[in-house]
Chain A
Amino acid sequence: MKAFILIIFLSILVSLPIIGHTGEKWSGVDEVVIEKIAAEHGRTPSEPLINTDQGDLLLFVFLLAGGISGFVAGYFFRKLEEGRDRN
């Protein structure tokens, strides 16, 4: 039953981005809410210290970050599993 719930949940997660990409534009709430209201009050976001938001560079950085954090999470999960084996 619990495995079934997990599968359903993952299916919903997987389907959301697919549904989402069929639209024209999927702005983040930063643009829709935060930046819009800040602009109404005369404030605009300044450029980040390391600006990776340039063309496909951000895609690359996101892929890299996802890969590294996935590796880190997997590494530590294995460490925890090894701990269980020792117990």
Chain B
Amino acid sequence: MKIRWILPFLIVLLSSNNAFAMHIADGIISLQWSLLWFALVIPFIFLGIGKIKKLSESELFFKPLIGLLTALVFIISVMPIPVPIVGTCSHPTGVAVSSIILGPFVSVIVSAVALLFQALFLAHGGLTTLGANIFSMGVVGSFTSYAIFRLCRKMGLGIILAGFLAGIMADWTTYAATSFQLASGLAKEGEMLSLLWKISLAFVPTQLPLGIIEGGITAGALLLLYKRRKDILLKMNVLQEEGK
């Protein structure tokens, strides 16, 4: 029932705003740096495809679940959210949800698909910088949120709180990675650390509240799935025991 509220709401949000693209656009970093980031994400892509093939054979629900989460990540990661205290717009990443449920490797593929469509049709990111954007959002965001979620669960936190914290960290670390990519791609000799600090600080006022919103989105999505298809959470090892 709740999904019927959420989807029209997201569509309205998307349709009523201009594109406030976040990811690194074509031309911002040099071709050499772009190629390096592509090279770094290729192993994750291959491992992710392997995981999808393996899990699709064993679980009937896996393909619809990937389809649902890819659409969700696509929507969330282009949803511009104004931050009134700063006067800027930015958007969450959505990868924490996919990473927790599907695993970080499959989440890289989900992010890659979402980012490719955004770069092609929404002037959002770029094709030459696709590798860099997959690395920051797909690899760093997915793996960090997955690790945080698992750590929180081991510490005995419930899935909602663990998901909330994982969502926050997915957002913040994605932007930290973007800061690093920009600093490494733009810095002149001896300027790297100061530039990294400058870019990171510039992101903080917008991403601090947005990370909390992303935590809420992640917790909400997990709550929805917990209520509707708890069996999926158990099979995907998100829940270890019934009811916990």
Contact = CB atoms under 8 A, between A and B. Distances in A.
B60 A83 contact: yes
A7 to B, nearest CB: 9
B29 interface: yes
Contacts of A83: 60-61, 64, 229
Interface string B107-129: 00000000001011111001100
Given A19-B82, A26-B82, A76-B67, A10 B6 contact: yes
Interface size class of B (residues with CB under 8 A): 35 or more
Q: Which of A20, A28, A79 has the most CB of B within 10 A?
A: A28
A78 B166 CA distance: 27
Given A27-B89, A32-B202, A43 B186 contact: yes
Contacts of A23: 82, 84, 87
Contacts of B13: 13, 17, 66
A80 B65 contact: yes
Contacts of A81: 228-229
A32 B202 CA distance: 8
Interface string A1-27: 011001001101110110111010111
B45 interface: no
Nearest to A37: B199
Interface in A35-87: 35, 37-38, 41, 43-53, 58-59, 61-63, 65-67, 69-70, 72-77, 79-81, 83-84, 87
Contact of A52 (B2, B123, B207, B216): B123
Interface string B2-39: 11011111110111111111111111111000000000
Interface in B180-236: 182, 186-188, 195, 198-199, 202-203, 206-207, 213, 216-217, 220, 223, 228-229, 231-232
Nearest to B3: A77
Interface of A: 2-3, 6, 9-10, 12-14, 16-17, 19-21, 23, 25-30, 32-35, 37-38, 41, 43-53, 58-59, 61-63, 65-67, 69-70, 72-77, 79-81, 83-84, 87
Interface of B: 2-3, 5-11, 13-30, 60-61, 64-65, 67-68, 70-72, 74-75, 78, 80-84, 87-90, 117, 119-123, 126-127, 160, 178, 182, 186-188, 195, 198-199, 202-203, 206-207, 213, 216-217, 220, 223, 228-229, 231-232
